Amino acid sequence: MGKKEWRTGRDTFLYVSNLPEGAVESIKKYGEKYGRDLKVAVIHDIKSPYSGVLAKKRGASVIIKADFRSVSDVQKALLPHQDKFLAVTARGDSAVTLFREAIPHLPELRTPNSESLIWSVNKIEMRKRFFAHDKTITPKFAIAKDSTQKTIDRIVKSVNFPCVVKPPDLAESILVAICFHEEELQAAIKRTFTKVRSIYKKKMILTPPRVLVEQFMEGNMYSIDAYVDSRGTAQLTPMVYIKTGRSIGFDDFFGYQQMTPTNLKTQSIKDAHVVARKAIKALGLRSTSAHIELMRTEDGWKVIEVGARIGGFRVEMYELSYGFDHGLNDILHRVPNKINVPKRKKGYTAAMKFFAKEEGELVRLVGPKKALKL
């Protein structure tokens, strides 16, 4: 543990919005190793009371409520606890958005720049940063502000087919569509604008909606997480292979199956690392964890997107396959403390998401007993 932080009496780790299951136990165990009673605090939006209920259930020592639509309310909520915080983190895209609002009120902690968090959430701004930094790491893209024929013609000329239509600032693969010809493209853009306007209205987002259209990348999808220090130096975790829902018949790009270790050769992993570090640098990420999604194409590694957080299922996968606590590392490196990232393989791990192709009532689940015997 950092000696300076120990001397100042700081003993609390702050989570924004979401306290992951098992986080308190990991932090308590780590504190016992150094003879310290470490605590966990959670700050959540008053419009999400369940976050506080869940945090209490999972063992948080301090629960802070704040109205994140009010700058002064967030400031007042954090002020009494500031001299106790060792580090702050956020897990999940929605939590990262609130994290950005909390950063100005945590001046003594190592945190990412608020602007870099915007770039890591908005896919259009992200693509612009990648293209300006190194256009070889990103696919061709165009921005649609409407669905007029003039806009369609411009997109076809600059991106061509096949292409992918996606809203720039909605989480995961929601509303993503692949298009193979002009009629599909125009219909997808119109459909996306209609749905995005509806979502913006519900969320009271006032900015005019835009749609990102980018070149469809053919290849295999992988991801890698990183611990980025205050100077932007990234310590990378082992790679994870991702099979998308589209590869098993869904009209969607969600991560259906995730597996580690991968069968990639050493040189291919090194090449992926180079591209991942370029993506982190392009977004100006500092003092944060990062989740980088990559596509291995015929033209080399390309960046799908980068999030200022750790990836889903990674805590369990890295624990089982490599024996290190990714969730604990996520908060410790922000202190900053030395973290353990062994590369020696203990075994293979797969995580899966199950989605029905149609809405309905779940009446039967086949296969769990067989899976438990594996």
pLDDT tens digits, one per residue of 208-257? 889 999 999 999 999 999 999 999 999 999 999 999 766 666 666 666 78
Confidence of residue 198 (pLDDT cuts 50, 70, 90): confident
pLDDT of residue 78: 98
* Cα(42)–Cα(52) distance, integer angstroms: 7
Evaluate the omega torsion of the peptide bond into residue 162 and state whether it is cis, within 30 degrees of 0: yes
Domain that holds residue 167: 140-215
* Cα(159)–Cα(181) distance, integer angstroms: 12
Which of 69, 86, 109 is the last residue before a domain boundary?
A: 109
CB 229 within 8 A of CB 338: no
- Helix 93-102, helix 71-78: angle, nearest 10: 80
Query: What percentage of the chain reaches a pLDDT higher than 70?
Result: 92
* Cα(249)–Cα(230) distance, integer angstroms: 43
CATH code of residue 17: 3.40.50
pLDDT of residue 49: 93
195: number of CA atoms within 13 Å, CB side? Answer: 17
Query: What percentage of the chain reaches a pLDDT higher than 90?
Result: 77
Kindly state whether residue 51 falls inside one of the protein's structural domains: yes
Residues 97 and 9 grouped into a single domain:
yes
- Helix 93-102, helix 114-121: angle, nearest 10: 160
pLDDT of residue 64: 98
CB 214 within 8 A of CB 158: no
pLDDT of residue 361: 84
Domain count, the chain: 3
pLDDT mean over 159-178: 79
Kindly state whether residue 242 falls inside one of the protein's structural domains: yes
CATH code of residue 310: 3.30.470.20
CATH code of residue 191: 3.30.1490.20
Kindly state whether residue 123 falls inside one of the protein's structural domains: no
Residue 79 carries which side chain, given as an amino acid letter?
Answer: L
The CA angle 87-28-41, to the nearest 5 degrees, is 45
Kindly state whether residue 127 falls inside one of the protein's structural domains: no
Residues 245 and 342 grouped into a single domain:
yes
Kindly state whether residue 363 falls inside one of the protein's structural domains: no
pLDDT mean over 4-29: 89
Residues 226 and 298 grouped into a single domain:
yes
Residues 199 and 227 grouped into a single domain:
no
Kindly state whether residue 125 falls inside one of the protein's structural domains: no
* Cα(203)–Cα(47) distance, integer angstroms: 12
Q: Is the pLDDT of residue 175 over 90?
A: no
Length of the chain: 374
Residues 101 and 181 grouped into a single domain:
no
Q: Which residues contact 232 (CB under 8 A, 6 or more apart)?
A: 280, 281, 284, 285, 286
Task: Round to the nearest angstrom and report the end-to-end CA distance of the chain.
Answer: 39
Q: Is the pLDDT of residue 172 over 70?
A: no
pLDDT digits over 111-126, tens only?
999 999 999 999 999 9
* Cα(157)–Cα(92) distance, integer angstroms: 36
CB 180 within 8 A of CB 156: no
- Tokens matching residue 150: 């003039």
Confidence of residue 9 (pLDDT cuts 50, 70, 90): confident
Residues 227 and 347 grouped into a single domain:
yes
Residues 163 and 234 grouped into a single domain:
no
Which of 109, 128, 158 is the last residue before a domain boundary?
A: 109
* Cα(2)–Cα(335) distance, integer angstroms: 7
Kindly state whether residue 30 falls inside one of the protein's structural domains: yes
Kindly state whether residue 120 falls inside one of the protein's structural domains: no
pLDDT mean over 314-325: 98
Residues 323 and 292 grouped into a single domain:
yes
Residues 202 and 230 grouped into a single domain:
no
pLDDT mean over 131-154: 96
DSSP class of residue 2? -
Residues 225 and 191 grouped into a single domain:
no
Residues 144 and 99 grouped into a single domain:
no
* Cα(69)–Cα(168) distance, integer angstroms: 22
